[in-house]
Structure 1
Amino acid sequence: MFKIINFLNQIKLTTNQLVIYTCIYITLVLNFPFLSKTAVVVTAFESYNLFFLLSVPVFLLALSIFVQCFLSFRWITKPLLILLVLLSSVLFYSTVTYGIVFDYGMIQNTVETDTAEALSYFNFSAILFFLFFGVIPSLVIANVQLTYSSFVGELLARIKLLSGSVGVVFLIAIVFYSNYASVGRNNRDLVGYLTPYALIDSTVKYVRKNYLYPPLRFSLLDTSPTIKSDDSTKRITVLVLGETARSQNFSLNGYEKKTNSLTKDLGVVSFRDVTSCGTATAVSVPCMFSRLNKKNYEKRVAVAQQNAIDLIHLAGADVYWISNNNGSCKGVCSRVKTEQISTNSKNPLCDGEYCFDEVLVDELRKKLHSVTSNKTLIVLHMIGSHGPTYYRRYPENKRVFYPDCQRSDIQNCSQEELVNTYNNTIAYTDLVLSEVINELETLSNVSNAKTSMIYVSDHGESLGESGVYLHGLPYAFAPQEQIKVPLIYWGDKVHHEAKLACLNSIKGQPMSHDNIFDILLGEMEINSTVYQPKNNPFNQCTVDIALAKTTSQTTPQGVK
């Protein structure tokens, strides 16, 4: 090791030379995902220009050198280049291994990720990858000797390098402009793979939008929402907020493996064509509870106005948010009673870092026995199927599918093992939902309370399809696995029999997170100026049943 360091110490380079060599490494090695995906796009054409394809790495190299010409001077050169290499190696691993793209949404999700979740991505493979592609090249940069000439001499050399890089960029742009314009317009997702520049650009935008802009004044969408029903029947709705569950792995939706063996006989209605607002919790959760829809959603605006939870609470209903997800509620529950499940408890369902979702049922049971309000909404926020440590989302004795993948570097598991592990998380979620339903049904039978449950996931998950894992890809080109989510409804038979039959007839109707705001207000029977009945697909069943009752009551006897 010392011989290698001594050898490196004998290597003498100018600042410009070190910049060029480092940029070559970042361009040709750490940008391999970008270059390979670009090659796939270009070669897909029946007749493509080989010289255009070969110009891409040269063009990227020239741009990288151009950028570094303004940043790398004397003593700051090595620290800056080492930082770029270390950062780029982490991005390289994330993209190669999981298919992650560090756009604005991913930066937001990363910033809002808790420590335990972040640590779940570290494993032996990640450490080796980081050492080989990040640490070793950084040691090389740190130990070579830099030689300096006079200030004027270095300035002239830098101007020459800058001029050369500009000349290359200009020449390639002139010769292949139409090719770059065509590929760029039709494949905007490629920009997200530029390492590390896509990350830097997204980070600057995130910081600017979240820390440099002044906070918006909180807006009241409705100052006096009310509860429609004036009868004395208790109404309790439980919203189970799922995590990373994709619709296609639910046997309720036609999946061949029995992942919903417990809820299938409990009278639930599963809606089969539901899309999420985003591909990450940080976007989807605040979005689905917001009056804004996916098209105009902006977190800065959403957190500065009332959401569905606020309106239900303001109308007079008791609202509780109970979370087993350390990522919190993303600001949605800030103004209602909240409870975060402690992972450090002596509960056998907890291991010090995570708790299995059955702890939510225990907390629900306590709340149901102490309900005093006639209208109550309880939100149970699950940890669900959050990866990559899927195997830590279900107890050992609840494994249904074998063999499974008992590791976090999921790319090193077989496809069968990975899918089985994920399916085990869905089966365990199904168990939790069945227990929630049993608690509500028991309460309904004992006290005649009107009870219902809604389950919806925040986003889906990729399990290696097309080489993509986890979630968080930019929505514009995210696969269906990441944006198709389950939406399940259950209601006690005494109060909901006709409604359930009606909902079953529309379960194939397209829906999205944009409907959740109005579904919740409708289910809790909230009168509000911002409630949009047409945006509540459940409303057609409620209205039809109400009309049927009215007709039957007003129709003279003997008339059909």
Structure 2
Amino acid sequence: MAGLPPLAGLAHWLDTPRSPRTLAVWLSVYLLLAANWPLWRQLAHIGGGAPSLYMPSVLLMAILVMCANTAVLLLFAWSRWSKLIWLLVVVAAALAQHYMLEYRVVMDPGMLANALQTDAGEVRDLLSTTMLSRLAIVVLPAAWAMWRIPVLRMGVLSNAWRNLAMLVVLAVVAAVTIVASNRTLAPLMRNHVGLRYTMNPVASLYSAGKAAAKPLLTRNRKLVPMTAGVHLGASYAGQAKPPMLLLVVGETARADHFSLNGYPRDTTPELAARHVSNWTHATSCGTSTLASVPCMFSPLGKAAFEARSDDYENLMDVLQASGLAVFWLDNQPGGCKGVCDRIPHASAFKGLDAATRKQNCDGDECLDDVMLRGLDERIAALPPERRAKGVVLVMHQMGSHGPAYHLRSSPDAKRFKPECTNNSLADCSHAELINAFDNSIAYTDRFLGKSIDWLKAQQKSYEPAMLYMSDHGESLGEYGLFLHGVPYSFAPDVQKHIPWVMWISDDMRKRGKLAAACLGKSHDEPISHDNLYHTVLGLMDVQTRTYKPSMDVLNECRSPSDA
């Protein structure tokens, strides 16, 4: 081989059969160098930019990532399908690196759980030429090498004990490294929890496995009833008109981009013109729809909800059990995350006529105005005996769902220009990104204004009110982060600080003995999604042992007599 020309020598080297362990090590080295740039960049940032400060941490993490990735690859080094499985691992690593680079997210179980629930429309929003080029750069060299290099065949038992022996060696190397460098490694991992989820692809595979296994592990959970003894309160006795509550669950709206909360841009003129009540310091239960929506409708509160071992009936079950007419209307492709499974519900973008779909929809994604189409007919279709008592309608918005913020507002609502129209946010200026997001907030403001006007038109038959809050916030480049889904314990406030707005008609205010002066002010006390359950029950006068007056945000405005 020494006398061969360079290209011929390379071809001979590539054509030489290698053991599965050798290929696993080489592929692990390749992934270490080609698919871990988010990790190296983060370590450099933590180290302050000086190589002498961050290189020791880089070397330590390189050893650990190398050991972990090689161990993962060895788990599949058993058969002729090894190369195919390894190629899938490379593709997963390339995808994970792209999203970590593009949106500064980490591959924790919550993020992967959201990814597993992504539908075709959301996938389309995430596609970009940047993603395809990054995939090609990482995947194609590895695919070509794996196609060229033959695997050395050996017996099952011989291959098994060799793989096992190498796994033991890897475990020893990792353990020695951790023990020897604990003084450096322990504070690094403790103070920067997100680092463990940038170790690629082992973190992504771990998180995906944990997210996929969660439904299997929770399959035997029982549903704990919360509806025992539920009944309607005294306000329903001899009522002239039944109450109607429109509960709007927003998507990805940031409180600090609402002009109601002091944002310098006038993003919420419609809400301001309708003299709504506004809570300025509301926080979410999670940083993703999957985490927040089930939690906000739970009677347990964030801490107990996350620690639960069984499932519990939620706010919608309690309202349904009280005898009210309850309906959930979804404009969110991911659905209600199980909250509406036991009540009447529908998808807003199903069954639309061609003209409405052409005007409001792009594929299976529609602007939120579609939820106002045919709303009277939807209400009329609910059981009349329930409607006679009262109605609770939930609208689950598409809101400001990213990264395609420009698709979340209609052309006539785009007041801030130029806006980012690229799914690859790095290709847009910060100003264009903010313009696109603010246009989506302005569109939500207009949608809520129209919703209040619809409620006002119902006052001949109902005593209406509206409550709006977002499921979580969004990062728009702060601290180098984009989108949402960062683990709650170290997520920035912009992913947790949400808008909370209420409009209550005079009839509904009098029904609930709510002081007009109290409702007409801006409320600064801290509240959270934990307050939603109790606030809705208090407003609708639904009596149950699970209601806590201290958690009802309207309780401070409630007086013994009509004010």
Whether these two folds match at TM > 0.5 is yes
Distance change (3 Å), C-alpha of 1:351 and 1:220: same
Deviation per residue, 1:33-74 (Å, 9 max, x gap) = 123223333448999585454332133213333443444246
Corresponding residue for residue 468 of structure 1:
481
Opposite residue 489 of structure 1, the aligned amino acid is M
1:208 has 2:221 as partner: no
CA distance in 2, matches of 1:492, 1:267: 11
Correspondence for 2:543: 527
Q: Quote the residue 1:501 is aligned against.
A: 517
Task: Give distance in 2, aligned partners of 1:329 and 1:306.
Answer: 14
Residue of 524, 527, 551 corresponding to 1:511: 527
Aligned to 1:332, the other structure's residue is in SS state coil
1:325 aligns with 2:332: yes
- Match of 1:454, SS state, is strand
Q: Which amino acid aligns with 1:485?
A: I
Question: 2:65: which partner in 1?
Answer: 60
Corresponding residue for residue 455 of structure 1: 468
Distance 1:329 1:49 in 2: 44
- Shift of residue 137 of structure 1? 2.1
Q: Kindly tell me: are residues 227 and 33 of structure 1, through their superposed partners in 2, closer, same or farther at Cα, counting changes over 3 Å?
A: same
1:108-507 correspondence to structure 2 within 5 Å: 108-148=113-153, 161-162=166-167, 165-166=170-171, 168-228=173-233, 229=235, 230=237, 231-298=239-306, 304-342=311-349, 345-346=353-354, 347=356, 348-367=359-378, 372-444=387-459, 446-447=460-461, 449-496=462-509, 499-505=515-521, 507=523
Q: Could you say if the C-alpha distance between residues 71 and 503 of structure 1 is closer, same or farther in structure 2, counting changes exceeding 3 Å?
A: same
Cα distance in structure 2, aligned partners of 1:457 and 1:86: 34
Moved more, 10-19 or 463-472: 10-19
Instruction: Point out where structure 2 has 5 or more consecutive residues left out of the alignment.
Output: 1-6
Describe the shift of the 1:9–1:429 C-alpha distance in structure 2 as closer, same or farther (beyond 3 A): farther
CA contact (8 A) 2:249 2:394 kept: yes
Deviates more, 1:360-369 or 1:378-387: 360-369
Cα 1:164/1:39, change in 2 over 3 Å: farther
For 2:4, the equivalent position in structure 1 comes to: none
d(CA) in 1 for partners of 2:159, 2:379: 75
Which of 2, 10, 16 is equivalent to 1:12?
16
Structure 1 distance, partners of 2:244, 2:154, is 77
1:447-471 CA-to-partner distances (Å, cap 9, x unmatched) read 5x32110001111111122221111
Identical-residue share of aligned pairs (%): 28
Deviations 1:216-247 (A, max 9, x none): 23222132311111223321111111111111
Shift of the 149–493 alpha-carbon distance from structure 1 to 2, 3 Å rule, reads: closer
Given the two structures, how large is their TM-score scaled by the length of structure 2? Answer: 0.88
Provide the residue aligned with 1:23 in structure 2: 28
CA distance in 1, matches of 2:363, 2:55: 56
CA–CA separation in structure 2 for the residues paired with 1:46 and 1:7: 37
C-alpha displacement at 1:439, in angstroms?
1.6
Distance 1:454 1:176, change over 3 A: same
Change (3 A) 1:123 1:299: farther
The 1:496–1:337 alpha-carbon spacing in structure 2 relative to 1, beyond 3 Å, is same
- Which range moves more in the overlay, 239-248 or 49-58? 49-58
Which amino acid counterpart does residue 560 of structure 2 have in structure 1?
A
Matched residue, 1:555: none
Root mean square deviation, CA, Å: 2.9
Q: What is the distance in 1 between the residues matched to 2:320 and 2:205?
A: 40
Distance 1:289 1:163, change over 3 A: closer
Distance in structure 1 (CA, Å) of the matches to 2:440 and 2:505: 26
How many pairs are equivalent? 541
Contact kept, 8 Å, 2:72 with 2:202, in 1: the verdict is no
